[in-house]
Chains A and B, each alone.
Chain A
């Protein structure tokens, strides 16, 4: 049914690909037991460092490790150059699109996107209309999910413009690999990723409110220790040397945002928030939220604090908007997209729906607002019953779904029970947008550990790998 997948190490079977030469040689010198022992060592390291994530609704496994695979995923310098150019182009267009959507809405007037797709979208925040974020940027930290299907075929599967997570794994995976296999790094010219926190800090500083006559005070806002990504929040705050605050630590007073310190109140200028829009400000959004700060949105609107990413940034990563991104790039930048989209059928269109219903067993169907691999159908892997259940859901609410062909995601050798075996993977580079676009060479490689599985999400049993970008 599926064509054979392209393998990152072995291509389509014509021998080891150039970027993997040194790693393949190294693997050849090791026995499977050695590798398994190393993997166990890595787990102890992760556990002791507390690099864990929480799974909602799973009391027993309140703090779980994301399985870490010790065989790296490697990207050549030339491949990365192309990806980097495409990513930069994409994030510039996404921000231009958001600025337009919350201002003149030229793209709607030009009829390039159906207005109801924006206006009726729950990710669209009308309160943001007319707000001027510093430097006109809405999404300062974007994770772009990429997949590969061949030597030169990369696709963008998804943009994450709200609060993308996973960058701490990119950094800790590298730290662990360098600790365990220092020789490997002596033999391969791997681009460093540890500059990410510094670049994040520079990005945050660059979007501080104008006219501050002091260094901006920056804080990371977390929902707290029970959040699934809490480790990452504390990790990033620590690496940047800024406070990690919860909603209760903040208060709005005299039109400014303050944090409550041991010496009284300190004004905060930039908030890197890791709480959702709806929880940000109970006065404007969800009134029952205890995670946010009453009044913060007014301070933001008055330009006295910068919220990163901006409220309403989710409009750019909505799955219903996704299929319009190539148009968005052309519209704002006047150039064709460098990175391709996966061809997408919008079930809101009758033609799209008809096609999808006829080809359910071949397609991946996703909820427009879903995330984390929940509520999706992978046609080729689904049973007849599952397909029929999904068909009913589709017919009931077609506008709630999009569908894409099942891509043969590239594989990479991965350590499993009986040794090394190819497993499917994706790649999420993290790009920073402030006074300039900053892209650390690398990203988070997620790998589906189950044989044949295409779902890489950690909530669905996916693992991660260290991601190497080689330098010339």
Chain B
């Protein structure tokens, strides 16, 4: 496989995943904005949405104030924002077009129809009840693409590079959501208790589609340290850092077997996986949740960088 192909497949998956995560973040921000709260506090929620999406600097370079309309527009449609859903779909589709020979017909057609349909959406005619529908549709299209991938692609390097893109992006996203909100999970703020915390905790879980499964797993009401445990260490939760690293480690091992050579990125991934496997949520809280998450985000970036080096993405 060409190095350029591996690079395009990796980023194709990342952008599809990013679009889906973005849809979820907007959904949660929108939900909270609907709660009966007063002016500033209401809009402040959009700030953390922007931060979780890594889009705050870009947004404030264009806008002075926070407003639902501007934030949604920036995260959904703005082509000057590389991470907007529109940009994600455009890049994903462009990569897919450049690598059509590596994709199955099902994968290509799934992505291409999403792109064609998305282009027919007119941002200024989007109504408030149209937004949730659109966000659902985006999640659905991402699922359809992942489904096409899982059901039709050979389990060779095409598959592995696609998987790596998906799970590196997902791990990054989960870690950032937690990091932006880590303070609401700290014991000091738990003491405060009350409705707002519950809303915030639920928001975190909703951002990773975990608010219902949480109850099944913990058979308990929302508790800060359990939420962190769930999103960081739980191997059954498909968007947890631990689950993502299970997949990354697996794909890198398969690649090493396929190519008959182990690369440094596998070592870094193994260490990260071990860290999550042996981690205890109490210790993580004691030594600092924020520090843990920042360290994880840096590691995750390093794995991505090492993968691109090892497999000649930019040869």
Contact = CB atoms under 8 A, between A and B. Distances in A.
A48 B116 contact: yes
Given A47-B116, A48-B112, A249-B2, A261 B312 contact: yes
Interface in B1-19: 1-6
A200 B157 CA distance: 26
Interface string B100-120: 110001001100110010000
A349 interface: no
B86 to A, nearest CB: 16
Contacts of A49: 105, 108-109, 112
B216 interface: no
A262 B112 contact: no
Contacts of B259: 262-263
B4 A248 contact: yes
Interface in A234-258: 234-235, 237-238, 243-246, 248-249
A225 interface: yes
A261 B1 CA distance: 5
A224 B95 CA distance: 12
Contacts of B150: none
A211 to B, nearest CB: 26
Given A48-B109, A48-B113, A263-B259, A243 B3 contact: no
Contact of A262 (B2, B101, B116): B2
Contacts of A264: 312
B312 A246 contact: no
Nearest to B112: A50
A113 to B, nearest CB: 42
A395 interface: no
B315 interface: yes
A81 interface: no
Nearest to A262: B311
B112 A245 contact: no
Interface residues of A, number: 23
A262 B312 contact: yes
B94 interface: yes
A234 B4 contact: no
A225 B97 contact: yes
B109 A243 contact: no
A28 B105 CA distance: 35
A268 to B, nearest CB: 11
B108 A50 contact: yes
Interface residues of B, number: 24
B98 interface: yes
A124 B112 CA distance: 42
A260 interface: yes
Contacts of B3: 249, 260-262
Contacts of B1: 243, 261-262
Contacts of B4: 246, 248-249, 260
Contacts of A235: 100
A299 B88 CA distance: 41
A94 interface: no
A263 B157 CA distance: 11
A235 to B, nearest CB: 8
Nearest to B109: A48
Interface in A33-83: 47-50
Most buried by B among A47, A225, A237, A263: A263
B255 to A, nearest CB: 8
Contacts of A259: 2
A246 B101 CA distance: 13
Contacts of A249: 2-4
A262 B157 CA distance: 9
Contacts of B100: 50, 234-235, 238
Contacts of B6: 262
Nearest to B95: A225
A61 to B, nearest CB: 13
A248 to B, nearest CB: 7
A225 B312 contact: no
Most buried by B among A230, A234, A235, A248: A234
Nearest to A259: B2
A333 B102 CA distance: 44
B67 to A, nearest CB: 32
A230 B96 CA distance: 13
Contacts of A243: 1-2, 5, 101
A237 B101 contact: yes
B177 to A, nearest CB: 32
Interface in A210-233: 224-225, 230
Contacts of B97: 50, 225, 230, 234
Interface in B145-174: 157, 161
Contacts of A246: 4
Contacts of B157: 262
Contacts of B315: 260
Nearest to B97: A225
Contacts of A262: 1-3, 5-6, 157, 161, 259, 311-312
Most buried by A among B6, B97, B100: B100
A243 B101 CA distance: 8
Contacts of B2: 243, 245, 249, 259-262
Interface string B59-76: 000000000000000000
Interface in A135-179: none
Nearest to B103: A238
A439 to B, nearest CB: 26
Contacts of B116: 47-48
Contacts of B161: 262
A225 B311 CA distance: 23
Nearest to B261: A263
B259 to A, nearest CB: 5
A49 B312 CA distance: 30
A237 B103 CA distance: 12
Given A48-B116, A260-B4, A260-B315, A225 B94 contact: yes
Interface string B115-150: 010000000000000000000000000000000000
Contacts of B5: 243, 262
Nearest to B311: A262
A227 to B, nearest CB: 12
Contacts of A224: 98
Most buried by B among A49, A50, A225, A264: A50
Closest A-B pairs by Cβ, 3 of them: A260-B315, A238-B101, A262-B311
Given A243-B101, A262-B311, 17 more contacts: A48-B109, A48-B112, A49-B108, A50-B97, A50-B100, A50-B112, A224-B98, A225-B97, A234-B100, A245-B2, A249-B3, A260-B3, A260-B4, A260-B315, A261-B3, A262-B161, A263-B311
Interface of A: 47-50, 224-225, 230, 234-235, 237-238, 243-246, 248-249, 259-264
25 contacts: A48-B109, A50-B97, A50-B100, A225-B98, A234-B97, A234-B101, A238-B100, A238-B101, A244-B101, A245-B2, A248-B4, A249-B2, A249-B3, A249-B4, A259-B2, A260-B3, A260-B315, A262-B1, A262-B3, A262-B6, A262-B259, A262-B311, A262-B312, A263-B312, A264-B312
